[in-house]
């Protein structure tokens, strides 16, 4: 595993949304799926197989880890959280995407907006 977040960029849109879903708090798989669906107004619906394949790779890369399950949670559910390195990867990708949006604004593809 490299400690340089830039080596993991660009992220796929699925991975980016998974990391965003975990940025506020740990979630279980179904919670990630629902958060992504809600935050994208239904434009992105993750399939369980796609999600768990992404989680497996992200865990192998040290971006996600299994989190402690809340006491009241179903014992069958596994919770996932960003690692400190995962937060750095998410931030690096967010900065990269922001720079792309800035380029589009300067090219007048998008209207000027608040940065």
Where along the chain do its domains lie? Answer: 9-106
pLDDT, average across residues 75-100: 96
Domain 9-106's class? mainly alpha
Q: Are 51 and 32 in contact (CB under 8 A)?
A: yes
pLDDT tens for each residue of 13-61: 999 999 999 999 999 999 999 999 999 999 999 999 999 999 999 999 9
Q: How confident is the model at residue 109 (pLDDT cuts 50, 70, 90)?
A: very high
Distance CA 66, CA 82 (A): 9
Q: Which residue has the tokens 């935050």?
A: 39
Edge-to-edge strand list for the sheet holding 64-67: 27-28, 79-82, 64-67
pTM: 0.90
Could you count the other beta carbons within 10 Å of the beta carbon of residue 79? 19
Rounded distance, CA 53 to CA 50, Å? 5
Distance of CA 17 to the CA centre of its chain: 4
């Amino acid at each position: 595993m490299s400690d340089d977040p830039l080596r993991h960029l660009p992220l796929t849109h699925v991975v980016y949304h998974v990391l965003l879903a975990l940025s506020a708090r740990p979630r279980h798989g179904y919670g990630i799926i629902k958060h992504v669906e809600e935050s994208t107004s239904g434009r992105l619906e993750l399939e369980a197989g796609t999600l768990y394949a992404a989680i497996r790779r992200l865990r192998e890369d040290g971006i996600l880890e299994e989190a402690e399950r809340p006491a009241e949670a179903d014992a069958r559910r596994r919770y996932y959280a960003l690692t400190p390195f995962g937060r750095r990867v998410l931030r690096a990708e967010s900065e990269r995407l922001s720079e792309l949006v800035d380029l589009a604004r300067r090219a007048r593809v998008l209207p000027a907006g608040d940065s």
